[in-house]
Amino acid sequence: MSWFQKILPPKIKRRQEAARKTVPEGLWSKCPNCEAVLYAADLDNNAHVCPQCGHHNRLGARKRLELLLDEGERKEIGGNVLPIDSLKFKDSRKYTERIAEAGKQTGESDALVVMQGHVLGVPLVAAAFEFRYMGGSMGSVVGERFVRGIDAAIKGKQPFVCISASGGARMQEGLLSLMQMAKTSAALTQLAAHRLPFVSVLTDPTMGGVSASFAMLGDLIIAEPNALIGFAGPRVIEQTVREKLPEGFQRAEFLLEHGAIDMIVDRREMRKVIARGVNMLMRKAPLQA
Amino acid sequence: MKTTYLDFEQPIAELEAKIEELSEVQGDASLDISDEIERLRKKGVTLTKEIYAKLNAWQISQVARHPQRPYTLDYIQSLTTDFQELHGDRAFADDQAIVGGLARFEGEPVMIIGHQKGRDTKEKLLRNFGMPRPEGYRKALRLMRMAEKFRMPVLTFIDTPGAYPGIGAEERGQSEAIARNLYVMAELKTPVICTVIGEGGSGGALAIGVGDVVMMLQYATYSVISPEGCASILWKSADKAPQAAETLGITAPRLKALGLVDRVVSEPLGGAHRQAEAMAENLRKALSDALREVKERPLNALLNDRYARLMGYGKFKETRGG
């Protein structure tokens, strides 16, 4: 206790203590990788990349789009497409309850948010997964919003970008979810027919049915550092092959080494790399520095 | 070959054992018990009908995985002539979990591609239990492109627990191999007819399952995840697989009602393995009908319909605006 606090009357002292308790949690945060204690505002100003070790934190869909797209005019696409429980799916809980809970937790109505906007002045359509919404799982709504995003890109003669973060297909919609793999991949054939680029950005984690469909079909496939990317989950593989998985297995660097992706890009450079790349693919003038 | 009976078929198994016993007695006894045997046979048929009339989803998935169920090569043998198997992805290996090649179906050249499981331990290992690695899907892709080039329809037979979850498979791009097939099949410029003949296990099944007509045998299953896998994730216990099977909606009639399957091909009483020839005949008729339908249509219309069908997948609601 400082000399100043000692001379304060008790009433004021108490109030100050109360005030300290209401300091919002999350003002400070600990890096999950290097455990450095970071000031949240610094982290936010650094695209949620740890300034100490470069660890890329997971991000929600809207935050992603906010970081990717230029400020100003943005138009959300397919936000009016909403999930239904067509199978009357029930495990330990009902699918409808899980939908409601995920909605409350994330403020989203499903696991994909699509927006039309600009990146460094280049007009495009961008989609981003909300991993906290049922593990970013792909069901009917994700598939439909993805396709509507592509339709908008074709209409506006613009590139399409998708930032993935997903555990795969959504079990609660059964085979309908599996078919979203076919639907999203098929939609890309139309984008290609119009010679419009598809940029697939893989973030931690991109697995299962998302990885095994559109995410691996990018003209450019970009991964964030250290992102877990693969078809089968590491645990399933370990149980199947009964051996220890190699160090760095299914990480972005592993995929780059095995020729599965074009590049690994630091999140803070992402806007530039995407805008520059699609501009060349569309034979447009270079970006103004 | 002696029929292997599933758990829920035990009453049928007991009856069959009794019939066999009596048949042996019949051989050396002077008194005639053929009437009795005939009576038991009829009872056996009634019993089988009763049991099969109310199979639940979990029981159906047992039939779909029956060790004696006809596999792709069995159908190739009974339905086609001049089969010439074509091997390899021209890049890495020949994956024996997928077989493919040229054949004649009702005299016409077709490309056949299907998952292949093994019968005995040695063959099961060779076929990797019907779980393909990337080179399997890339072989399938190569054969589809060839079919497109030479203007022949593609017939696929789906029967896999899923794509193989292994270290090498991941290193060689399992995801990309599956994804590429989905993309190419969506726009392949030749008719594609897909039939789920046994187990339709997730992405590993879908990777040869995009086409103009999708059919399922009556006791085949098609699912986003195996009932066991679903149960261990959502219920945290693989014992709940029967409940998972029910709620996932993996059976042919349910998927037809959802509009994901065009046609259900009837199986003989007691499942395909009980009368393989009758099953092959039913499948021949179904394939023949499907082929006739797709061949009547101009290629452009066929591709437009295929695309429209893919875009139609999914159930959601839509509010105004947005």
d(C-alpha A6, C-alpha A205), whole Å: 52
Provide, as residue numbers in chain A, all residues whose Cβ is less than 8 Å from the Cβ of B172.
258
**In this model, does residue A21 exceed pLDDT 80?**
no
CB contact under 8 A, A80 and B320: yes
Could you say which residues from 156 to 195 on chain A have a Cβ atom under 8 Å away from some Cβ of chain B?
Answer: 169-171, 173-183, 185-190
Provide, as residue numbers in chain B, all residues whose Cβ is less than 8 Å from the Cβ of A185.
179, 182-183, 186
Could you say which residues from 94 to 113 on chain B have a Cβ atom under 8 Å away from some Cβ of chain A?
Answer: none
d(C-alpha A281, C-alpha A120), whole Å: 16
B217 at interface of A, judged by CB pairs closer than 8 A: no
- Nearest-CA residue of chain B relative to A82? B317
B100 HSE (CA, 13 A, CB side): 29
State the pLDDT at residue A55.
Answer: 95
d(C-alpha A210, C-alpha B185), whole Å: 17
In chain B, which stretches have pLDDT less than 70? 27-30, 321-322
State the pLDDT at residue A206.
Answer: 98
Instruction: Say how many C-beta atoms besides its own lie within 10 A of residue B316's C-beta.
Output: 21
What distance in Å separates residue B201's CA from the closest CA in chain A? Answer: 10
**In this model, does residue A208 exceed pLDDT 90?**
yes
B236-244 CB contacts, 8 Å cutoff, 24+ apart: B240/A91, B241/B58, B242/B56, B242/B57, B242/B58, B243/A91, B244/A91
**Strand A28-30 vs strand A37-39: parallel, antiparallel, or unpaired?**
antiparallel
pLDDT in tens, B83-107: 999 999 999 999 999 999 999 999 9
Sorted by sequence, the CB contacts under 8 Å of residue B158 that are 6+ apart come out as B114, B115, B194, B195, B196, B197, B198, B199, B200, B205, B208, B209, B222
State the pLDDT at residue B2.
Answer: 84
Instruction: Say how many C-beta atoms besides its own lie within 10 A of residue A7's C-beta.
Output: 8
Q: Among partner residues B180, B185, B235, which is closest to A91 by beta-carbon distance?
A: B235
CB contact under 8 A, A81 and B170: no
Among residues B65, B66, B131, which one has the least CA distance to residue B97?
Answer: B131
Helix (H, G, I), strand (E, B) or coil at B315: coil
d(C-alpha A224, C-alpha A212), whole Å: 18
Q: Are the beta carbons of A131 and A165 closer than 8 angstroms?
A: yes
State the pLDDT at residue A243.
Answer: 87
Radius of gyration of chain B (CA): 21
Among residues A276, A110, A175, which one has the least CA distance to residue B318?
Answer: A110
Q: Among partner residues B170, B225, B240, which is closest to A230 by beta-carbon distance?
A: B170
A137 at interface of B, judged by CB pairs closer than 8 A: no
Per DSSP, A169 falls in state B
Residue the block writes with tokens 């074709």: A154
**In this model, does residue A1 exceed pLDDT 60?**
no
Angle (CA) B223-B196-B151 rounded to 5° is 125
Using pLDDT thresholds of 50, 70 and 90, give the confidence band for residue A92.
Answer: confident
Furthest C-alpha separation in chain B: 86
Amino acid code (one letter) for B225: I
Tokens read off for B23: 């048949």
Q: What burial class does residue B235 get, using C-beta atoms within 10 Å of its C-beta: 0-12 exposed, 13-18 middle, 19+ buried?
A: middle
Radius of gyration of chain A (CA): 22
Report, as an integer, the average pLDDT of A70-82.
96
Q: Which helix H or strand E contains B115, and what residues bound it?
A: strand B108-115
CB contact under 8 A, B255 and A213: no
Provide, as residue numbers in chain A, all residues whose Cβ is less than 8 Å from the Cβ of B226.
none
> Quick one: angle between helices B57-64 and B241-248, nearest 10?
100
> Quick one: angle between helices B34-53 and B10-28, nearest 10?
170
Helix (H, G, I), strand (E, B) or coil at A123: strand
State the pLDDT at residue A24.
Answer: 58
A13 HSE (CA, 13 A, CB side): 10
What distance in Å separates residue A17's CA from the closest CA in chain B? Answer: 45
Q: Among partner residues A180, A211, A259, which is closest to B175 by beta-carbon distance?
A: A211
Could you say which residues from 242 to 281 on chain B have a Cβ atom under 8 Å away from some Cβ of chain A?
Answer: 243-244, 247-250, 255, 258, 260
* Cα B310–chain centre separation: 21
B27 at interface of A, judged by CB pairs closer than 8 A: no
Q: Among partner residues A186, A212, A249, which is closest to B175 by beta-carbon distance?
A: A212
- Nearest-CA residue of chain B relative to A191? B183
Q: Which residues of A111-146 are buried (b: 16+ CB within 10 A; e: fewer)?
A: bbbbbbbbbeebbbbbbbbbbbbbbbbbbbbbbbbb
DSSP characters over B155-175: EEEEEES-S---HHHHHTTHH
Mean pLDDT of the residues in chain A? 92
* Cα A115–chain centre separation: 13
Helix (H, G, I), strand (E, B) or coil at B280: helix
State the pLDDT at residue A145.
Answer: 98
Q: Among partner residues B240, B310, B318, which is closest to A81 by beta-carbon distance?
A: B318
* Cα B4–chain centre separation: 19
What distance in Å separates residue A36's CA from the closest CA in chain B? Answer: 33
Q: Are the beta carbons of A184 and B151 closer than 8 angstroms?
A: no
Q: Among partner residues A140, A174, A211, which is closest to B249 by beta-carbon distance?
A: A174
B117 at interface of A, judged by CB pairs closer than 8 A: no
Could you say which residues from 220 to 239 on chain A have a Cβ atom under 8 Å away from some Cβ of chain B?
Answer: 229-233, 236-237
Provide, as residue numbers in chain A, all residues whose Cβ is less than 8 Å from the Cβ of B247.
87-91
Using pLDDT thresholds of 50, 70 and 90, give the confidence band for residue A9.
Answer: low
Among residues B67, B74, B65, which one has the least CA distance to residue B3?
Answer: B67
ipTM score: 0.96
Using pLDDT thresholds of 50, 70 and 90, give the confidence band for residue A15.
Answer: low
Q: Among A38-42, A258-262, B136-140, name the one with the lowest average pLDDT.
A: A38-42
Among residues B62, B58, B198, B194, which one has the least CA distance to residue B117?
Answer: B198
Q: Are the beta carbons of A174 and B223 closer than 8 angstroms?
A: yes
Report, as an integer, the average pLDDT of A226-241.
94
A240 at interface of B, judged by CB pairs closer than 8 A: yes
Provide, as residue numbers in chain A, all residues whose Cβ is less than 8 Å from the Cβ of B167.
237, 241, 243, 245-246, 249
What distance in Å separates residue A180's CA from the closest CA in chain B? Answer: 7
